[in-house]
Amino acid sequence: MLLFSIALMYACSKHENEVTPEEKKITFSVPSNFPAPVYNFEDNKLTNAGFALGKKLFYDARLSADKSVSCGSCHQQFAAFTQLDHKVSHGVNNCQGKRNTPPLFNLAWQKAFFWDGGVKNIETSPLNAITDACEMGTDVPTIITFLKNTAPYPDLFKKAFGSTEINSQLILKSIAQFTAVLVSGNSKYDKVIRKEAGTSFTTLELAGYSLFKEKCTSCHAEPFFTDFSYRSNGLDLIGNDGGRSHITGMASDFGKFRVPTLRNIEYTSPYMHDGRFYSLDEVLEHYSSGVKASANLDPQLKNGIPLSDAEKEQIKAFLKTLTDNEFIKNTLYAES
């Protein structure tokens, strides 16, 4: 008993010694099968303190109008930073947004954000969610006042940017230090492509990959599994969301949305801009037999993409190789 409690005490003290382990340097790393990023931290030097502040802001629900919603509420790590089981984003005062939450990763390679591509810079992207009445429902001056009066934020700003000054620019730059660092490039697919030792596709996955390259890559281009274009994929326009046309004002863009990435697709259901499909089966069935004609339908989908049951299984098997569990479970990105 005595020995046991000594052991316990020892364990305790040992644990306390471990409270300040050497801090791991936060880095932004470009997978070798990715091109050069669009956002390269040139005007926003990445630091551990900046990343830590951005992460804290990302997960702080007190920033929203009724203190119930943080960025992390709709961007959940276990769902590759989208919102599991929600067709559309669920904001303050139980308000339902109009579109499905996009996942957050590999944003440093994106030139435009949101389903309609309306926002052109990763740094200014959070403003949309902060001010939308159905998302966080607040405004930046309110957030600045809150942060100035709430410990430890002034100290965290000082550590990150050298001054206790808190303004919209520093808030947005710190959040970008968190969101731009979210890189997902360690799926089985990536490892096979990089010819890492001991990795190979199964026969089913390989068949799916061949089929995918034949039928899907003209829009879902590697390595991001999107070509970042805006297209109409033959959904009937329930709710009449004009998508890209809201941004360009052009009738020819009505009903077009950004081609979504398929990385981590296993964890990002439901699917489509309005979250209408809950399973990959429904999605594949849509392309196989459900594409509806409309003025702006992508010409490549005029006849749909007919798939046999066996082909659907092959494609699904391949799509699951795009799951990056190291990313999903990386504790650096988790709320702390």
Partner 1 sequence: MKLSKYLLALVCPVILLSSCKKNTNEVTPDAKSTFSIEFENQVNGSPLILSTATYKNAKGEDFKINVFKYYVSNIKLSKADGTTYLIPESYFLIDASKAESTNITLKDVPVGDYTKIEYTIGVDYARNFAGAQTGALDPINGMFWTWNSGYIFVKLEGTSPQSPATGNTLTFHIGGVTDPNNTIRTFATEINAANPLRVRTDGKPNMHFIVNAAALFTGKTAISFSTLYFTMGGANSTIVANNYANGLFRLDHIHN
In the complex, which residues of this chain contact partner 1 (CB under 8 A)? 43-44, 114, 118-124, 127-128, 130-132, 139-141, 144, 167-169, 171-173, 176, 246-249
Q: Give the rounded distance of the alpha carbon of 322 from its chain centre.
A: 14
CB of 112 or CB of 221, closer to partner 1: 112
Q: CB of 119: closest distance to partner 1 in angstroms?
A: 5
CB atoms within 10 A of CB 216: 18
CB of 172 or CB of 182, closer to partner 1: 172
Q: How far apart are CA 330 and CA 336, in angstroms?
A: 12
Q: How far apart are CA 122 and CA 4, in angstroms?
A: 54
CB of 62 or CB of 246, closer to partner 1: 246
DSSP-derived 3-state class of residue 271? strand
CB of 122 or CB of 283, closer to partner 1: 122
Q: CB of 71: closest distance to partner 1 in angstroms?
A: 14
113: left (phi over 0), alpha (psi -120 to 50) or beta: beta
CB of 140 or CB of 237, closer to partner 1: 140
Q: Give the rounded distance of the alpha carbon of 1 from its chain centre.
A: 51
Q: CB of 125: closest distance to partner 1 in angstroms?
A: 9
Q: How far apart are CA 55 and CA 21, in angstroms?
A: 19
Q: How far apart are CA 178 and CA 122, in angstroms?
A: 11
Q: CB of 51: closest distance to partner 1 in angstroms?
A: 16
Q: CB of 176: closest distance to partner 1 in angstroms?
A: 7
Q: How far apart are CA 34 and CA 227, in angstroms?
A: 13
